[in-house]
Amino acid sequence: MSNHQVFVNQPNWLFLLKSQLKFFYNHKYSISNINTVVNQLSNQNEDARSGAINDLVSIANHNPQSQWIIIDLLCKFVKKYAPLTATDNSSRNFTSKSHQLLQSIMHIICSRDMNRVSMDEQIDLSYTDLRGLDLPGANLQQANLYQANLSDANLLGANLSGTILTAARLSRANLRLVNLSEAILNAANLDCADLSGANLHQANLFLANLKGAKLTGVNLDRANLRESKL
């Protein structure tokens, strides 16, 4: 099968990644090696996908210029792999390996080097199902999490400053000591979330649901709580 045929049979985001990565490989990663790695992301075998993720991290480590391209690819993969479901009770039919793969990918995304990210490069995880993930200390500053489902997620001490969380589901989430300054939480569901010690300075909580939320020591200085449910 020709390279053209392989590209035609792949999702557009995989094709674009291959095109972009051609500019960033070094002597340790030939074009054929990069193509092989990216092809594995389409593999239905979870172990093959996990191996591909690890190889992409290695490529990013050896080619700092390619970090954003790979992070953007992983975000697109998450949107395809864990799309938003209708309700919190909807089953994802995830195996333990599937959950671990999603956990590993999110850890990579949330550990990105901000010194290598420009102001116009935004993580887009909107409309994703990230329920129950363990992401303490995650760096999701200024990310787009519009309507994302983060119910029961552990985000202890995470940086969500300036993050778009409009209509996001954060029921029972661990948001202790989280930086949510200037975050957009319009119509977000924070039912029974733990916001103890969180920083919500200048956050927008218009129409947000905070019923049952723990607000001990929370900083609400200049936050917009108009029509929110407390």
- pTM for the complete prediction? 0.82
Are 203 and 226 contacting, i.e. CB atoms less than 8 angstroms apart?
no
Integer-rounded Cα Rg, in Å, for the chain is: 19
- Given a cut of 70, is residue 2 above it in pLDDT? no
Instruction: List, for residues 88-135, the tens digit of each pLDDT value.
Output: 666 666 678 888 889 999 999 998 765 555 556 799 999 999 999 999
- Domain covering 118-230 in this structure, CATH number: 2.160.20.80
Distance CA 187, CA 118 (A): 29
Residue with the two structure tokens 């420009």: 118
Phi, psi of 229 (to 5 degrees): -105, 115
Domain ranges, ordered by start, for the chain:
3-116, 118-230
Decide which of 69 and 172 is more confident: 172
**Closest CA relative to residue 173, chosen from 198, 148, 190, 196:** 190
Are 69 and 20 contacting, i.e. CB atoms less than 8 angstroms apart?
yes
